[in-house]
Amino acid sequence: MPGAIYAEGLVKHFGDVKALDGVDLDVPEGTVLGLLGPNGAGKTTTVRCLTTLLRPDRGTAIVAGIDVLKHPDAVRRSVGLSGQFAAVDEYLTGRENLQMVGQLYQMRAKAAKQRAAELLEQFHLTDAADRPTKTYSGGMRRRLDLAAALVVRPPVMFMDEPTTGLDPRNRQQLWDVIKQLVSGGTTLLLTTQYLEEADHLAHDICVVDHGRVIARGTSDQLKAQTGGERVEVVVRDRGHITAAVEVLSGFGKGETTVEEHTRKLTVPVSGGAKLLAEVIRELDSRDIEMDDVGLRRPTLDDVFLSLTGHLAEEKPGESSEAEGPKARKHTKEPAQ
Ligand SMILES: Nc1ncnc2c1ncn2[C@@H]1O[C@H](COP(=O)(O)OP(=O)(O)O)[C@@H](O)[C@H]1O
Ligand SMILES: [Mg+2]
């Protein structure tokens, strides 16, 4: 039986651009799927297809047990969407925005009012509730956007890059809210550019690139595939790079990569802090001076590098954020 979110062979073209090239997904009820990928990978397009905002050229999608292509209205009533193109009207207050959403979903005025008050409380927005949302900070807007998606308590939620551009404190706050939400049994599909975010929130992760799912598994499985942790060393003297590569390669489980201009060397390892200490001793014994040395977990770039052979680089100017039917009065977020 398919999960709460199920897709098979989703294809979507925009003119010559193949945004989706056969996306398959299956998210069991009550779990969180992280859709992880760089800018332009097809994350938003996937979410828009699954939430009926876009019609795929080909493929099947079933959400909350309902066929998305056959019964889009029924799907719309069963899902919540929060994301990159915030549906918040900035001339209304936070409270008015939430009440308006309730009324759009045909709640009675009194019920909509009560639900709005509950959500404002839950998202720490009570103090700002009666100010126009254009005065809100980026973090407050995201929380309001998320609250708006929760007005009708949907069994299935979609969040498109909920924390992109937020500072660490706001990101952490939003993660807490999301965790609370899914502990209540909501099925969630979340897109993100950050492995760390998927790590915190998702049971399973699908890595997408060029409109395809190129890897799937738990965060640990993906990291293991990319060769676990990295030792990173910045040598003081450019002339020592070759000798340092030799040392690192002796300890590493894979190729040592060198960034010449920053004198930074990186190698995948297993063995943690103990191994790091050995690396440092060995470099020391060869009089190779270091400006910096450390152990770090794989990043999205590492996952990409090992899966695709290329970095998950940002493509400047590529953004479909200001489009879509919900892109009303989309403005830049005020500084936080
Ligand atoms: N409305 C659109 N018109 C034309 N091209 C689009 C549109 N939406 C997305 N694309 C293109 O489709 C690809 C996937 O975009 P998107 O799904 O927004 O990626 P992501 O959300 O992962 O950054 C990109 O190449 C993007 O430029
Ligand atoms: Mg996107």
Separation of 194 CA from ligand 2 center, angstroms?
A: 13
78 lines ligand 1 (CB under 6 A): no
pLDDT higher than 70, residue 324: no
Q: Whose CA is nearest to atom 3 of ligand 1?
A: 14
Position 312 scores a pLDDT of 57
**How many degrees, rounded to 5, is the angle at CA 214 between CA 212 and CA 219?**
125
Q: What is the pLDDT of residues 182-192, one digit of tens each?
A: 888 899 999 99
- Dmax of the chain from CA atoms? 76
Averaged pLDDT, 116-127: 92
Q: How confident is the model at residue 17 (pLDDT cuts 50, 70, 90)?
A: very high
Separation of 321 CA from ligand 2 center, angstroms?
A: 7
Q: What is the pLDDT of residues 282-302, one digit of tens each?
A: 999 999 999 999 998 887 677
Q: Whole-model pTM above 0.85?
A: no
Using the atom order of ligand 1, give the atom closest to the CA of residue 321: 18
Euclidean distance between CA atoms 187 and 180, whole angstroms: 12
Q: How confident is the model at residue 311 (pLDDT cuts 50, 70, 90)?
A: low
Separation of 35 CA from ligand 1 center, angstroms?
A: 15
pLDDT higher than 60, residue 70: yes
pLDDT higher than 80, residue 87: no
| pLDDT higher at 30 or 181 | 30
Q: What is the pLDDT of residues 31-58, one digit of tens each?
A: 999 999 888 999 999 999 999 999 999 9
Q: Whose CA is nearest to atom 24 of ligand 1?
A: 40
Q: What is the pLDDT of residues 163-200, one digit of tens each?
A: 888 888 888 888 888 888 888 889 999 999 888 899 88
pLDDT higher than 50, residue 318: no
Q: Which ligand is nearest to the CA of 327?
A: 1
207 lines ligand 1 (CB under 6 A): no
- Going from the N-terminus, what domains does the chain have, and what CATH number goes with each? 5-220 (3.40.50.300), 229-296 (3.30.70.100)
User: Three-state secondary structure along 213-276?
Assistant: EEEEECHHHHHHHCCCEEEEEEECCHHHHHHHHHHHHHHCCCCCEEEHHHCEEEEEECCHHHHH
